[in-house]
Amino acid sequence: MKQKILLTTCLLTLGLINSNYAGEMMTNSKKIKKATFIKLLSKPEAQSQLEQFLQKGALLVRQTEPGTPLWFGLKDGNSLAIFDVFFDDKGKEQHFLGQVAHALKENANALVQGGWEKGVLQNVNHFDIIAANHFSTAQVLKTKEVSFIIFKAKPSKSQAVEAFLKEAALLVSETEPSTYFWLALKANEDTYVVFDAFPSQSAQKAHFSGQVAAKLQNSAGELIVDGWENGVLANVHNFEVIAVS
């Protein structure tokens, strides 16, 4: 019982989230440097509880973690995920020592397949942010759909892939007003991710018919392992946004 009420108690102690937050906070895309993605497979009987945990967790992040400018709770069937963005390594370290991480650790055995060690910690993926569109935090907080695309650069093509992604971030800013958030992430020397967020499925669909997608399709055979079909499209993972802060 103590574990179940831990997160709620923290929220009640802190009070309601500041309703002016969306209008007041703007995040400079040049300052965000780090990101993490954590896939969580809920226990069959605990999916709704895990979803509620993520929704409450979003509020607690906003109240207690100034070094975590953006935090997403995501859903795809009974698979859930956390994606969060940090200004620097210090902010990331503080996040994993914070109240949300503590509450998840306390509740993981009841909510997540594999518990804390195998169901959470083993699924933490760390990234450097190498490019971002010019985004408005107020718009990001209104997103409903997310795409997470992972791919590998061909040998000796990592530098070219990174140059492409940096140009793509600018092109998204110029040509895709309904792509509210677009990040290029680097996991290691040859593995990259594009994370993008949209206000609707129609905006998401439009993105994949846009100029950036067309340019990537044309360049994938040269730059990406397995090309466009098997190297990019086969690795697109779509999520519903169930919480964001």
pLDDT digits (tens, 9 = 90+) for 185-237: 999 999 999 999 999 999 999 999 999 999 999 999 999 999 999 999 999 99
Degrees, nearest 5: CA angle 192-193-195: 160
Average pLDDT, the chain: 90
Q: Which long-range contacts (CB under 8 A, 24 or more apart) does 100-108 make?
A: 100/7, 100/57, 100/60, 100/61, 100/64, 100/65, 102/6, 103/6, 103/7, 103/10, 103/53, 103/57, 103/60, 104/53, 104/57, 106/3, 106/6, 107/3, 107/4, 107/6, 107/7, 107/53
pLDDT at 131 over 90: yes
pLDDT score at 23: 29
pTM, 2 dp: 0.87
pLDDT at 49 over 70: yes
pLDDT score at 78: 81
Q: Alpha-carbon distance 89 to 110, whole Å?
A: 30
- All structural domains of the chain: 2-10+30-125 (3.30.70.100), 130-240 (3.30.70.100)
Q: What number of other Cβ atoms are within 10 A of residue 103's Cβ?
A: 21
Percent of the chain with pLDDT over 90: 87
SS3 55: helix
Average pLDDT of 156-167? 98
